[in-house]
Amino acid sequence: MARDSIPGRSLALGTTVTLVTLLVLIPLAVVGLTAGGMSGERLSAALLSPRALAAFRLTFGASLAAAALDVVLGTYVAWILVHYRFAGRPLLDALVDIPLALPTAVTGIALATLYSAHGWAGRVLEAHGLHVAYTALGVGLALAFVGFPFVVRTVQPVLATLPVDLDEAAASLGADRSTTIVRVTLPLLVPSMLAGFALALARALGEYGSVIFISGNMPLRTEIVPLLIVTRLEEFDYQGAAAIATVLLLASFGLLLAINTLQRRLTVARSGT
Amino acid sequence: MIAEAVAPIFREAALPVEAAHRPAVRSSRRPRGLEGAAVALAVLCVAGLILLPLACVFAEAFSAGSSGFTAVFSDEYARDAIVLTLQIAAITVVANTLFGILAAWTIAKYRFPGKALLLSAIDLPLSVSPVVAGLAILLTVGVHSPLGAWLIGHGMRVAFAPPGIALATIFVTFPYVARELAAFLQEQGRELEEAALSLGASLWQTLWHVTLPNARWALLNGILLCNARAMGEFGAVSVISGRIRGLTDTVPLHIEILYNEDAFAAAFALAASLACVTIALTLGRSWIERKTGGHPSVE
């Protein structure tokens, strides 16, 4: 290895690694160790109780559904933003970032009020028999809200840098516009759509503030996993909380690995063009 | 690498550096015919999903008129919450800026094995649920842990007290300054620092007079993001705070308390004020990105 041209490596590296270890790695390890110290019986009681299973089903189900909706809607909006110039475009572009800019508690009370029986949207939907507040649908909606920017901001730059001559080549070979989109453009977008999906999913799995107000938090029905962790803590069941948290941690690390792989393929694919 | 994967604002993560120097290959145009309907549908979807909740915050905040809006700020508990949030944000920004400068400098200016691993470790908090982050800090410094017991024995209360809130907030905003600055410094290379050092500048002078002035926009960008997240953090703080009014109650926690007490106008007045601050910080970031031309993906 070449010698460093700038002095101070050991000190800088040592301090950085120490701080990361103290502030990030040790606290996360403590969660895993707390769960690891439980007997198999206690562990299965914490993770396999009907209440915990219902929470896992709701969190994973609603997160998957929300991320899927985000992929469809997000890719569509990214497409519109990249291809067309129109009066409201800067506003549309700015609105995409709002879910990331709003504090989660603010999002939470806004969605709960909006979709309650007396809210602007809730009133209309309830008249048509559609209940959003205090249902799994409301949980999914809140998760779709927070995950939306992740898909748009992952797909948009890829779409913007697709070579325009691909479209022209397809058209010159006789493909109509819809064939070009389905056979040429969409396949090139798939890696970025998958990356956006995984990012939205990762965010949704751990989401707390945006969800707990609209969900109503009924055990077995609308209780998400992060809320169950908080409930266990309020019962001073620290081990139970740590066990559930460890499952959530493992899920997000698995997703992180998937995103990591996808993103690398994305970069390779694009630098190859 | 993972560092590229979990950025809070993905336009910079998804865009490889070389794309910035590539000429724009796709030009947008006015929609024609049916395309106009497609554009309108997209606008409608985003308006329904995002604009409506945002409008709801401000409509509810002013539902009792402007006097109803300002009433919450004369409440003592709300004022305590605002002061605590400002203090926590200040501590978090200072701590994570110092760490960010150190980490970014280390990553960008030195060669060492395991650099990708270090970057991933710094990014970890971005993929952890805020509730799990709060739990991790609580289990580490809470009264049931050896460290927590020792701290209590020496008269230092960390969990269910402001120091714990600061620790949890530092955890969840840990990567922002570091990654923003590291990306910029890695692009810059080492030549300027090497030149300054060879001309006899000390390491400290090089950092202060060469590296940081150059990187000021990237640094500011990271600080704005860190600040916005610190002020709005809810899940992690909610776990570690113990929610003691007037003592460990931050603005987002106080919004929850007011909302659950059916004090809707007050809850939304506080929520709208907080949203204004975090949206302004986000707009500041967009302004910096346009000014420095670092992220041309959007236009």
Residue B23 domain-assigned?
no
- Does one domain contain both B50 and B135? no
Flag if B129 and A208 touch (Cβ within 8 Å): yes
Q: Which of B28, B111, B132 sits opposite A249 (nearest CB)?
A: B132
pLDDT score of B290: 87
CB contact at 8 A, A142 and A107: yes
Residues B256 and B278 reside in one and the same domain: yes
Give CATH for domain A63-221: 1.10.3720.10
- Which chain A residues have a beta carbon less than 8 Å from that of B25? 161-165
Q: Which residues of B touch A169 (CB under 8 A)?
A: none
Number of Cβ within a 10 Å radius of residue A49 = 13
Assigned token pair, A204: 């949704």
pLDDT of residue B10: 38
Does residue B12 fall inside a structural domain?
A: no
Average pLDDT for chain A: 91
pLDDT at site B292: 86
Q: What is the pLDDT of residue A137?
A: 96
Distance from the B254 Cα atom to the nearest Cα atom in chain A, whole angstroms: 10
In the predicted model, is pLDDT for residue A78 greater than 50? yes
Q: Is residue B11 part of a domain?
A: no
Predicted confidence band at B7 (pLDDT cuts at 50, 70, 90)?
very low
Total number of residues shown for chain B: 299
Q: Do B278 and A101 touch (CB under 8 A)?
A: yes
- Which residues from A are below 8 Å from B11, CB to CB? 153, 156-157
- A2: pLDDT confidence band, cut at 50, 70 and 90? low
The CA distance from B247 to B154, in Å, is 21
Does residue A24 register a pLDDT over 70?
A: yes
pLDDT band at A107 (very low <50, low <70, confident <90, very high): very high
Work out the average pLDDT over A253-273. Answer: 75
A240 within 8 A of B249, measured Cβ to Cβ: no
pLDDT value at B203 more than 80: yes
Contact A19/B167 with Cβ under 8 angstroms? no
Nearest CB neighbour to A256, from listed B6, B167, B264: B6
pLDDT, mean of residues B56-69: 92
Query: Which residue did the predictor score with more confidence, B95 or A270?
Result: B95
Q: DSSP letter at B29? A: B
Interatomic CA distance for residues A25 and B90, integer angstroms = 24
Query: pLDDT tens across B248-282, in order?
Result: 999 999 999 999 999 999 999 999 999 999 999 99
* pLDDT score recorded for residue B291: 87
Q: Considering Cα of A52, then A196, then A152, then B225, what sign does the dihedral take?
A: positive
Q: Does B131 lie in the same domain as B45?
A: no
Query: Among A53-57, A160-164, B124-128, B185-189, which stretch is predicted with the lowest mean pLDDT?
Result: A160-164
Q: Does the pLDDT of residue B125 top 70, yes or no? A: yes
Four-residue CA torsion sign, B166, B231, A140, A230: positive
SS3 track for A153-180: HHHHHHHHHCCHHHHHHHHHCCCCHHHH
Q: Is residue B275 part of a domain?
A: yes
Chosen for mutation from B99, B127, B203, B226 (greatest number of chain A CBs closer than 10 Å) is B127
Higher pLDDT, A133 or B143: A133
Indicate the residue of A109, A148, A154 with minimum beta-carbon distance to B255: A109
Cβ contact B11–A260 (<8 Å): no
Q: A106 vs B255: CB contact, 8 Å cut-off?
A: yes
Residue B200 and residue B56 share a domain: no
Query: Is A51 within 8 Å of chain B by CB?
Result: no
C-beta separation of B172 from B88 below 8 A: no
Q: Which range of residues forms the domain containing residue B49?
A: 31-61
Task: Please check the confidence at residue A227 and state whether its pLDDT lies above 90.
Answer: yes
- B chain contacts of residue A16, beta-carbon cutoff 8 Å: 99, 102-103, 106, 118
- Here the ipTM equals 0.92
Residues B52 and B113 in one domain: no
| Statement: residue B210 has pLDDT above 70 | yes
Q: Is residue B68 part of a domain?
A: no
**What is each CA distance from B295 to A191, B9, B184, B235, in whole angstroms?**
21, 11, 12, 31
pLDDT at res. A3: 60
Q: Do B2 and A82 touch (CB under 8 A)?
A: no
- CATH number of the structural domain spanning residue B170: 1.10.3720.10
Q: In terms of domains, do B107 and B255 share one? A: yes
Instruction: Find the length of chain A.
Output: 273
Q: Are residues B83 and B220 in the same domain?
A: yes
Q: What is the pLDDT of residue A20?
A: 97
Among the partner residues B47, B121, B137, nearest to A20 by beta-carbon distance: B121
Query: How many Å lie between the alpha carbon of A182 and the closest alpha carbon of chain B?
Result: 17
Q: At what angle do helices A136-161 and A89-96 cross, to 10 degrees?
A: 120
Task: Examine residue B284 and state whether it is found in any structural domain, yes or no.
Answer: yes
Residue B243 pLDDT: 76
Band of pLDDT at residue B1, cut at 50, 70 and 90: very low
Domain count, chain B: 2
CB contact under 8 A, B132 and A226: yes
pLDDT at position A269, please? 62
Note the pLDDT of residue A237: 94
Quick check: B136 and A30 CB within 8 A? yes
B6 falls within a domain: no
Residues B82 and B152 in one domain: yes
List the single residue in A with minimal CA-CA distance to B1.
Answer: A260
Taking the CA of residue A65 and the nearest CA in chain B, the distance in Å comes to: 16
The phi and psi torsions of A148 (rounded to 5 degrees) equal: -50, -50
Task: Decide which of B22 and B74 is more confident.
Answer: B74
In chain B, the residue whose alpha carbon lies closest to the alpha carbon of A269 is B16
**Residue B223 sits in the same domain as residue B137:** yes
Average pLDDT, stretch A189-195?
Answer: 92
Q: What percent of chain B has pLDDT over 70?
A: 89
pLDDT at B255 (0 to 100) = 96
Same domain, residue pair B190 and B287 = yes
Mutation choice for B interface testing from A4, A9, A21, A23 by most B CBs within 10 A: A23
CB contact under 8 A, B14 and A192: yes
Same domain for B92 and B48, yes or no, is no
Query: A140-189, pLDDT tens digit by residue?
Result: 999 999 999 999 999 999 998 887 777 777 778 877 777 877 788 888 89
Question: Contact, A10 vs B111, CB < 8 A?
Answer: no
Give the residue from chain B lying closest to A35, CA to CA. Answer: B139
pLDDT band with cut points at 50, 70 and 90 for residue A257: confident
Q: B129 and B36 in one domain?
A: no
Task: Please check the confidence at residue A16 and state whether its pLDDT lies above 60.
Answer: yes
Residues of chain B positioned with their CB less than 8 A from the CB of A98: 50-51, 54, 279
